[in-house]
Amino acid sequence: MKVHQRSIGNKSGARAAALGLPLDPPPFFLEGEIRLSGSYMNASCAAMGVIVLLAFQLFLPDPVRPLPSLSLLMMTSVGAALLNFGIRFVAYWAIWRKISGNYRQKGGRCLGANGELPKNAFMVVFMAPLAAFGVLYLILADPSGALGPGWWVAIAVVTGIAFRDLRAAWHVLFLDQARWLKETSRGLDILRPVVGDS
Q: Where does residue 104 rank: exposed (0-12), middle (13-18), buried (19+ CB within 10 A)?
A: middle
What pLDDT sits at residue 65? 63
Reported as a pLDDT band with limits 50, 70 and 90, residue 128 is very high
Query: In angstroms, how far is the first alpha carbon of the chain from the final one?
Result: 24
The 3-state DSSP class for residue 179 equals coil
Identify the bridge partners of residue 187 per DSSP, sorted by sequence position.
Answer: 35
Mean pLDDT along residues 47-57: 85
Q: Where does residue 17 rank: exposed (0-12), middle (13-18), buried (19+ CB within 10 A)?
A: middle
Mean pLDDT along residues 71-87: 89
pLDDT higher than 50, residue 7: no
Of 14, 33, 56, 67, residue with least CA distance to 155: 56
Distance between CA 3 and CA 30 in Å, rounded?
8
Alpha helices in 60-179 (DSSP H): 70-102, 119-140, 149-173
What pLDDT sits at residue 8? 44
pLDDT higher than 90, residue 90: yes
Q: Is 10 left (phi over 0), alpha (psi -120 to 50) or beta?
A: alpha
What pLDDT sits at residue 178? 86
pLDDT higher than 90, residue 50: no
Reported as a pLDDT band with limits 50, 70 and 90, residue 15 is very low
CB 26 within 8 A of CB 193: yes
pLDDT higher than 70, residue 102: no
The 3-state DSSP class for residue 31 equals strand
Mean pLDDT along residues 113-121: 85
3-state secondary structure 60-80: CCCCCCCCCCHHHHHHHHHHH
Record the pTM.
0.71
Position with higher pLDDT, 161 vs 25:
161
Which residues, at least 6 apart from 145, have a Cβ–Cβ distance to it below 8 Å?
none
